[in-house]
Homo-oligomer: A and B are copies of this chain.
Amino acid sequence: MAKQARAIQTRRTILEAAGAVFDEFGYESATIAEILSRAGVTKGALYFHFASKEELARGVLDAAITTEGVIPQESKLQEWVDVGMVLAHRLPQEPLLSAPIRLSADRRARELFGTSWAGWIDYLAEMLTVAKEQGELLPHVDPRQISMLFVSAWTGVEIVATAAVSDGDALEDRIAMLYDCFLPSIAVPGVLGRLDTAPDRGGRIWAAHKAQARAAADGDGQVVRG
């Protein structure tokens, strides 16, 4: 069991190093040597988990769709907002989250691996469908179309923000503004007024999630790894 836990931890360490290297160099210029050096693991350990650079890139893409930290809300539309807010909070600190965007924006890399956008769109469309069933959306709203547009717009904001075309706004500020642009076209007025789209929303939800995880761990007497 300890051995298995160590293997999972090693795999994660390698993926995080690969994410950082793909994020910085792009797929073509990334080298296994650089990934090894950042992960601080042996060649044998790396090849035990990933047979090639291709497999590393696939591993990074598979890790891309994560809703860790999103806490269920009575308003499904608020939860839909929280997904993008938490991601905007986490992404600048986690290359494993930004690397998939780099890989997907690279035409050659995505011919090899596809992208994680379709998965995100499916996930958000499903959530927005529930919001619509709960009466939170304007009648003309197509949950799938809006989710496709929002995933696209979110991606563009991230790409332009990291390219430092900036008046000093952090990613969280820009994503909050993006929601403020989209939501009046989506939400019924009564729901719109109650949505929390403050730039620090992602950080607050993420902190609450971490506190819950710690409390659960203390209750079980076990250590939970984020």
Q: How far is the CA of A27 from the CA of B145 in the complex (A)?
A: 32
Nearest Cβ distance between residue A124 and chain B, in whole angstroms? 13
Copies of this chain in the oligomer = 2
Given A149-B178, A157-B152, A184-B184, the answer on whether A165 and B25 have CB atoms closer than 8 Å is: no
Q: Is the interface of A mostly helix, strand, loop or mixed?
A: helix
Q: How far is the CA of A186 from the CA of B182 in the complex (A)?
A: 11
| A115 close to B (CB within 8 Å) | yes
| A155 close to B (CB within 8 Å) | yes
**Once the chains bind, are A159 and B156 in contact (CB under 8 Å)?**
yes
Q: How far is the CA of A161 from the CA of B26 in the complex (A)?
A: 21
A23 closest partner in B (C-beta) = B107
**Once the chains bind, are B161 and A156 in contact (CB under 8 Å)?**
no
Given A156-B155, A181-B149, the answer on whether A165 and B105 have CB atoms closer than 8 Å is: no
Map CB proximity to B onto A98-124 as digits: 1 under 8 Å, 0 otherwise. 000010111110100001011001000
| A8 close to B (CB within 8 Å) | no
Q: How far is the CA of A118 from the CA of B167 in the complex (A)?
A: 10
The 4 closest A-B pairs by CB, nearest first: A156-B156, A153-B153, A105-B105, A152-B160
Binding site for B on A (CB under 8 A): 23-26, 28-29, 102, 104-108, 110, 115, 117-118, 121, 144-146, 148-149, 151-163, 165, 167, 174, 177-178, 180-182, 184-186
